[in-house]
Structures are given as structure tokens and as C-alpha cells.
Amino acid sequence: MIKLELISSAGCKKCATARNELKAAAEDFAQGEVEWRDVNVLDELDYAVSLGVLTLPAVAINGTLVFTSLPTPERLRAELAKHIRK
């Protein structure tokens, strides 16, 4: 199972739009292949810093910062597919 985390801020409109698009992309995979987790940077600042997050929104896969800027849903699907094949 892949752990997908969207690191964002609750008041960020760009983050809210990204959440909906990226979550829909993650749901394209079989149930149980991708675990989605929203990370509110204000609640988990130390965790976000430990990942190396400098801008929001950011995306981590399996505890590693993969996208430091917003990926397209297609790029996210491609990256998730790579991790599923491993």
C-alpha cells in the first residue's frame, strides 16, 4: 500500500482545489492500493519541516517529499503507478 500525503493549509484555496483533483486521481487505483492522508501544516509543522516542505501544497509518498509544487493529476497517477510496480 502506498501512503499519499497532501501537505497543505486549511485556509488555502489553491490547496482545497488541489485536494479534490489529486484525491480523485488517487481513487483511480484499486481500493487498498493508495492510502490518502491530509496533513495540515499548522497542526504538523515539525513533520512538514522534516520532509523538507518549503511551499504549499506539497505531496509526499511513503514519507518522502516527491512534489514540492502542485503536480497535475496525470503526473500524480504516473508517480503512484511507479510506486505500485515496485
76 alpha-carbon distance from chain centroid: 8
pLDDT surpasses 80 at 85: no
15: left (phi over 0), alpha (psi -120 to 50) or beta: alpha
Q: What is the DSSP string of 40-65?
A: ETTTSHHHHHHHT--SSSEEEETTEE
Instruction: Write out the CATH class of domain 2-78.
Output: alpha beta
**Element housing 37 (H / E):** strand 34-40
CA dihedral 9, 11, 12, 15 (to 10 degrees): 60
The pLDDT, as a whole number, for residue 86 is: 65
- Model pLDDT for residues 47-76, shown as the tens digit of each residue: 999 999 999 999 999 999 999 988 999 999
The pLDDT, as a whole number, for residue 8 is: 93
